[in-house]
Structure 1
């Protein structure tokens, strides 16, 4: 996958790459045009000069970007106007390495363009740029305009205005109100030199040399240092992405809860995968918060422990087996049943028609034994090649691990990739027609997505039905920080159908046996407050146990500064009423820069 920093795919960029940049050094000032940077930026997100030529736009160079295809530099005008909506900074896109330095006083002539990172279909906002530039350096070594401080007081609590219905919900044409809305405030600083101080890290450093901080440390703060995303109306306005204009090796390897002490400063950019981004030429010193990976308690003799864990495209060539095994054996304390998501076939991403995953699973089981865990047995149903989505060739699927010394599996033949499992009544009890089996695999809800795996287990004489899920991803949704407000979550349409299908199956079991023990768990790819969760819970068939935790602990995943729920364990009424139900989201991955998966596992313990 190419670096996000180099992914510029718009036609504007292609045209700009084909043009040359001319730099001229003179000893006397050039004649400046009357157009200044704040005129170019204007008071909306779209420049009033978009598509037009401008001449001798004056400014001081505040930052230079030499890497990737987004090469260029930022300039800022020291002569600000009195309109807080108009930015005094702008990016000059050169396509090749710029021949200017921070502190140069320059004039720039070129074409004003609106570039949308990721392309117009992404729903992202645009960046106002000057392209095809001719640059004149007037002098060097000048003081850089003072950085504007971004802090808890300057960022409004409201996130964004609603978009213009006449413009399909876009905010682009709306006059900026930087004292009322956070996104308007950040837009009013686009391209300007900004600074944050003593900021807490809320998303760990990622492989693209980025992290997220918050300038509002008390805003929906998580117990372990993050910022919890608790509703569609709670957008956490203090979040800000940090990149660096320096060497990759100098970027801090930070975990959630660490602090960038002192000043982090540089131009404010807008990026495809993060929205408003401080591109730092000065980064605060990393003060570690001492965050440690969690370990849950061991289940008691009479407690059944059921876990879910997305192991992120695990295949035999990966080097993470020992780490995953240690997580299951030690951090999760060897649950009795583990539902795994994203187990790939024996050849991984090689698209060769292989669908079996016995080598992948057995390698993990052997590693768990080596880590001191039990000799798990396993059950699964192999998918039809290429039919379940995920990484092409990988054929990801859900797999049950179970400890045969604690639970037994009720094997019943007939389950395969295309046969729907049913429910029957035998001696007054519900029973699956096949175990393991798949729920309604021909349903259009599962097109190019993982089909739910269901199995029948017995613990201390009590039958427990477990449904392992991996719902459709959020790919294709408009970004929180995008131009369309409120965002359209197009991907949830399929998850709603999937949730309805699972809920219907659970109700079939409960209609057959009212007090049946049913657990639906896995990577639901949606929040505990979402419509998806409500459809799973519909008519009281299920209840998401993560809601038993305090709000400051409700998260399994971390994305763009938001600690959020994607993975869930939902239980039927008999389990919810059972004695001593305990739920634990075990934070071993989502908050750490050296994560082995992007998901945290969860464990449910109860007495059937």
Structure 2
């Protein structure tokens, strides 16, 4: 046994001025709520050092209580903390502080500016709590008692955790569960990656505990009322090494031991050492789709793909072309999003994207032996959002041996397409511009893409009466949203009001087509930047009368994903069809050529989808 005292003078003035508390247990310091009841006070405390970090260390209570709401560990923050290590029992004084680096993050209780650190004994055993065995299992559905109206309830940010400071209910709510273990040294047995690492190597995982929304690849899919609070992110290793950045969805990992922490808006585990992948999922990519019947009004194949800021200078042109030609089986019609102008992000007034489309069409032709044609409407310079100078737009590729525009009459970036009643007896509705943009002057589209509408007919004489309409959308971004673990409850779903307005405008346009002909064939697809169960798309389906193709095609809920963000496989890209099409046994596949790959191997951040539809 050895005994030593370290007197740390950093912050000594603050310590002298702070209210002084008597010796307290760690559980009492943490308290049964999100914020410490001793915030701003000086405490005297003892504990076992369970882990060290460059700027501090963690101690665990020597006399734990039996309250599951109160963590038995706490972070001690400071510099020049002396020569001691894990397994030491120490006593110290310090000021309790609630810290966060951003107003939208939850607070981390810590003891700062510690002084008079005394090593009472050394060489004591340090054990980790196994999550799900030594602790309860994480809740699987709800994040917070403050999420009135649900996690994506509108309006957002009605409450703040830091303002209400609710009593923890770790058996019911996800962030309460992780808060109740804040600072604890824990082990996850047989973890599995449920997302690809971010650019820092941080990886979301689950362990052997129960989960919901499990998809075939091993990820967790966000569904209505369930955004998977049972997941936890693994952050930077405490030993200074780095986690691998080439991980993939579904990777099986070696056991993880580390400390539960709060940083960058998320509860996380800082592992003692870097993550180790022990088994990769197989196959690396899904099998390509194949349609035995296609190219007719009874079997029209339709793809949708956000090809992420595409222009002739983009890397992986061949990769995107292979996805369209091989993995989607070269659909008769492809809805594209995020096609940039001919020189990409060069901000020089160029808005045409003919060379961008040609580059993609040429690459596809190398694989198919035939050439797509395209239609788009060039936006006004820097008016449609995205990277400055890029002028992204939505557009179509189509097989000219199968389809053509019906009475082509292209509109401009400022022309508003309108639905017109057919001029002949028994003729269906038509468009004044074909293709055309929906209400491009409406402020709802400021700095956002306008939906491009087209009216199509088949070259095949048998299908001459089977015309159909398409609406290609790319609604406003979610950029600026707050984290699911954050202080704002419900979390801020940035742009939800704007997307709701955009959904209303688009839906009202489609409803005009169906008003003139309730049996019209209409397909709306693209990057809606929203989930099917959140207000904008609920408004869209209710107002338009369209049917979610995932529902009509009976795609299992857990397999409805085209994107991975943080802990969730999720669906931002959708297809909706008019009731006539929904009734006729449609087929829909989400083709996971990007979400299954590592960050560096993906060619877009979205997966494409492909459907076969009967539009007769």
Given the two structures, how large is their TM-score scaled by the length of structure 1?
0.85
Equivalent residue runs for 1:220-231 within 5 Å: 220-231=213-224
Q: Which of the two has higher C-alpha Rg?
A: 2
- From 145, 149, 159, the counterpart of 1:162: 145
Find out whether 1:449 has 2:453 as its counterpart. no
Find out whether 1:304 has 2:300 as its counterpart. yes
Deviation of 1:139 after TM superposition, in Å, equals: 8.3
Answer whether contact 1:244 1:251 (CA < 8 A) is retained: no
Distance 2:445 2:257 in 1: 47
- Residue of structure 2 equivalent to 1:369: 365
Distance 2:124 2:257 in 1: 15
Answer whether contact 1:260 1:284 (CA < 8 A) is retained: yes
Deviation of 1:62 after TM superposition, in Å, equals: 0.7
Aligned residues: 570
- Residue of structure 2 equivalent to 1:599: 606
- From 390, 398, 411, the counterpart of 1:394: 390
- From 341, 345, 355, the counterpart of 2:341: 345
Equivalent residue runs for 1:191-270 within 5 Å: 191-215=183-207, 216=209, 218-231=211-224, 233-245=225-237, 250-251=243-244, 253-261=246-254, 263-270=255-262
- Residue of structure 2 equivalent to 1:277: 268
Distance 1:324 1:249 in 2: 31
Distance 2:74 2:609 in 1: 46
1:353-398 CA-to-partner distances (Å, cap 9, x unmatched) read 3322233222222222234464221111122222222233322211
Find out whether 1:577 has 2:583 as its counterpart. yes
Q: Secondary structure at the match of 1:584?
A: strand
Distance 1:134 1:365 in 2: 68
Distance 1:374 1:130 in 2: 68
Find out whether 1:128 has 2:109 as its counterpart. yes
Deviation of 1:329 after TM superposition, in Å, equals: 1.0
Structure 2 residues not aligned, in runs of 5+? 8-20, 149-156
Deviation of 1:48 after TM superposition, in Å, equals: 2.2
- Residue of structure 2 equivalent to 1:355: 351
Deviation of 1:592 after TM superposition, in Å, equals: 2.5
- Residue of structure 1 equivalent to 2:18: none
- Residue of structure 1 equivalent to 2:478: 474
**491-500 or 289-298: which moved more?**
289-298
1:424-443 CA-to-partner distances (Å, cap 9, x unmatched) read 22432222211221101112
Equivalent residue runs for 1:400-549 within 5 Å: 400-410=396-406, 412-424=408-420, 425-427=422-424, 428-459=427-458, 460=460, 461=464, 462-489=466-493, 491-538=495-542, 541-547=545-551, 548-549=554-555
1:277-335 CA-to-partner distances (Å, cap 9, x unmatched) read 11111445422221432222235143211111111222333212111111111111111
Equivalent residue runs for 1:280-291 within 5 Å: 280-282=271-273, 283=275, 285-291=277-283
- Residue of structure 2 equivalent to 1:116: 100
Q: Secondary structure at the match of 2:429?
A: strand
- From 27, 42, 52, the counterpart of 1:38: 27
1:427-461 CA-to-partner distances (Å, cap 9, x unmatched) read 32222211221101112221221110112222232
Q: Secondary structure at the match of 1:465?
A: strand
Distance 1:254 1:182 in 2: 25
Q: Secondary structure at the match of 1:368?
A: helix
- From 369, 380, 383, the counterpart of 2:379: 383
Distance 2:409 2:227 in 1: 48
Distance 1:350 1:142 in 2: 62
Distance 1:135 1:444 in 2: 62
1:528-554 CA-to-partner distances (Å, cap 9, x unmatched) read 222322222225621110122122322
Structure 1 residues 158, 563: closer, same or farther in 2, change over 3 A? closer
Distance 2:522 2:333 in 1: 13
- Residue of structure 2 equivalent to 1:7: none
Q: Secondary structure at the match of 1:203?
A: coil
Distance 1:88 1:52 in 2: 19
Distance 1:449 1:313 in 2: 14
Distance 1:57 1:318 in 2: 58
Structure 1 residues 483, 99: closer, same or farther in 2, change over 3 A? farther
- From 555, 561, 579, the counterpart of 2:561: 555
- Residue of structure 2 equivalent to 1:188: 180
Answer whether contact 2:58 2:75 (CA < 8 A) is retained: yes
Distance 1:434 1:201 in 2: 49
Structure 1 residues 433, 96: closer, same or farther in 2, change over 3 A? farther
Structure 1 residues 177, 530: closer, same or farther in 2, change over 3 A? closer
Structure 1 residues not aligned, in runs of 5+? 1-25
Distance 1:251 1:98 in 2: 31
Q: Secondary structure at the match of 2:586?
A: strand
Deviation of 1:469 after TM superposition, in Å, equals: 0.3
Answer whether contact 2:303 2:611 (CA < 8 A) is retained: yes
CA RMSD of aligned residues (A): 3.1
Answer whether contact 1:345 1:357 (CA < 8 A) is retained: yes
- Residue of structure 2 equivalent to 1:14: none
Q: Secondary structure at the match of 2:356?
A: helix
- Residue of structure 1 equivalent to 2:40: 51
Find out whether 1:28 has 2:9 as its counterpart. no
Answer whether contact 2:418 2:431 (CA < 8 A) is retained: yes
Structure 1 residues 534, 181: closer, same or farther in 2, change over 3 A? closer
Distance 2:456 2:440 in 1: 21
Given the two structures, how large is their TM-score scaled by the length of structure 2?
0.84
- Residue of structure 2 equivalent to 1:568: 574
Equivalent residue runs for 1:73-88 within 5 Å: 73-88=57-72
Find out whether 1:90 has 2:74 as its counterpart. yes
